[in-house]
Structure 1
Amino acid sequence: MIEMNFAKIKQSTASAICNLVELDEQAMQLLQDDAAPAQYLQQLIEKEFYPDAVRFLAVALPKREAIWWACLCVRHTLGESPSLADVKAVEMAEAWVYRPTEENRQPTLLAAEATQFKTPAGWAAVAVFWSGGSISPAKGVIVPPADELTGKAVIGAVMLAAARSGVDKIKANYQLFLKQGIHIANGGDGRAVQ
């Protein structure tokens, strides 16, 4: 069992997190009203409900940490000859994680568009764009993103990354990615996890 203290997760119950995301029926049947987030996530992992575990953790983590997690997953599956668009998208997402400013957030939409929204790196960049500020293309028009959009983009990035290496590696990718996400939730950076 992985140690889970979840220093970065502010919700005290798993049900509060589950209200923010749609999980499969089997995953919801495991939910107990007073279950702690760590306890519920451990159950999802033990049952190998990996997509639900990813959805749960992606919305439980604060935006910056969730995006960093997405970037780690993307980096793991970039391969030996990644496209320039993917490299740029993940680099821009990482730049925002290191310095979450509006100047670093704004250009991530163009980086995501260059991937045609078909790659994990593109979705990591979208997660940054949807993390705050205005998503309106019109100057002077402020349209804040819905709060849940970042989590949804992180889910897309992590799940696409898990599947990117081929069917035979999906389970191992999910297991690694969830260990990294838990390390981040515990206050780490997810890098040392293997």
Structure 2
Amino acid sequence: MSPPAPTPGRATRPPTPAAELVRDLKLSEDGRSLLRPEMTGAEFFDALVRARLLPDAARLIARAMLPREAVWWGALCVWATAGPQPAVRPEAAVRAAVTWLREPTDVNRRAAGAAGTAAGPTTPAGLVATAAFLADGSLAPDGQPEVRADPHLPATLVAEAVLNLSRAAGPAPPGGPLLRQFLAVAVDVFRGTNTSHGKV
């Protein structure tokens, strides 16, 4: 299975202070020790990668992304590790998430949520599809008062999906090659050079 072809992204966004991004972010003590008040998010990300604190870097860049970008990153990582004959439910979950990215209707968003539940809410594919469901719109059933998810929750779920994928590849040091590949993809998504469609 291969992902749909990406389309060109948007212009570079203004830098965000790292302290703003990590205020309530789960990071290691070693990672937090690298943070300086004057750092931008990009500078802190680079410092984490240089220090081989790649799980911290994954959580940081997911937080820095727009929720739709994070979902696309997660989908790309699942596709990269699915193999030639992925299980039906994980494939369905990721495809449902991408369908919502390309046609962001409430029907498609709720379908992604259902597919995430079917795939298993703790599996990488399930986490990505659930992130799509939580990224926009109400959690309540149709016709009920609106209930919104924590705006940071989609990024948290996607980061955990990516980290779970890298752990499943087998034991690796903190600078493991698979997670480095995932982070390279994340940078492309964040910069807008790899998007699910032109509006992400």
* TM-score tier (shorter): 0.7 to 0.9
| Equivalent position of 2:100 in the other structure | 96
Deviations 1:101-154 (A, max 9, x none): 222111112101111223211110010011021112464232111111111111
Match of 2:178 among 173, 176, 179: 173
Assess, with a 3 A threshold, how the Cα gap between structure 1 residues 93 and 133 changes in structure 2: closer, same or farther: same
Assess, with a 3 A threshold, how the Cα gap between structure 1 residues 84 and 8 changes in structure 2: closer, same or farther: farther
Q: 1:112-191 residue pairs with structure 2 within 5 A?
A: 112-137=116-141, 139-168=143-172, 171-189=176-194
Give the C-alpha shift of residue 19 in structure 1. Answer: 1.1
Comparing 163-172 with 140-149, greater Cα deviation is found at: 163-172
1:41 aligns with 2:41: no
SS in 2 for 1:173: helix
Assess, with a 3 A threshold, how the Cα gap between structure 1 residues 54 and 8 changes in structure 2: closer, same or farther: farther
| Equivalent position of 1:22 in the other structure | 26
TM-score w.r.t. the length of structure 2 is 0.85
Give the C-alpha shift of residue 162 in structure 1. Answer: 1.4
Assess, with a 3 A threshold, how the Cα gap between structure 1 residues 161 and 30 changes in structure 2: closer, same or farther: same
Structural RMSD (CA): 2.2
Contact residue 69 and residue 195 of structure 2 kept, 8 A: no
Relative contact order, CA 8 A, sep 6+: which one is greater?
2
Aligned counterparts of 1:110 and 1:182: Cα–Cα separation in 2: 29
Give the C-alpha shift of residue 78 in structure 1. Answer: 1.0
The letter for the 2-side match of 1:156 is: E
Gaps of 5+ in 1: 1-5
Give the C-alpha shift of residue 99 in structure 1. Answer: 2.2
Assess, with a 3 A threshold, how the Cα gap between structure 1 residues 81 and 165 changes in structure 2: closer, same or farther: farther
Comparing 168-177 with 82-91, greater Cα deviation is found at: 168-177
| Equivalent position of 2:77 in the other structure | 73
> Among the aligned pairs, what percent are the same residue?
29
Aligned counterparts of 1:8 and 1:73: Cα–Cα separation in 2: 23
| Number of aligned residues | 186
Aligned counterparts of 2:91 and 2:156: Cα–Cα separation in 1: 21
| Equivalent position of 2:17 in the other structure | 13
Contact residue 134 and residue 144 of structure 1 kept, 8 A: yes
Contact residue 93 and residue 125 of structure 1 kept, 8 A: yes
The letter for the 2-side match of 1:108 is: A
The letter for the 1-side match of 2:185 is: Q
Aligned counterparts of 2:69 and 2:12: Cα–Cα separation in 1: 8
SS in 1 for 2:82: coil
Contact residue 8 and residue 62 of structure 1 kept, 8 A: no
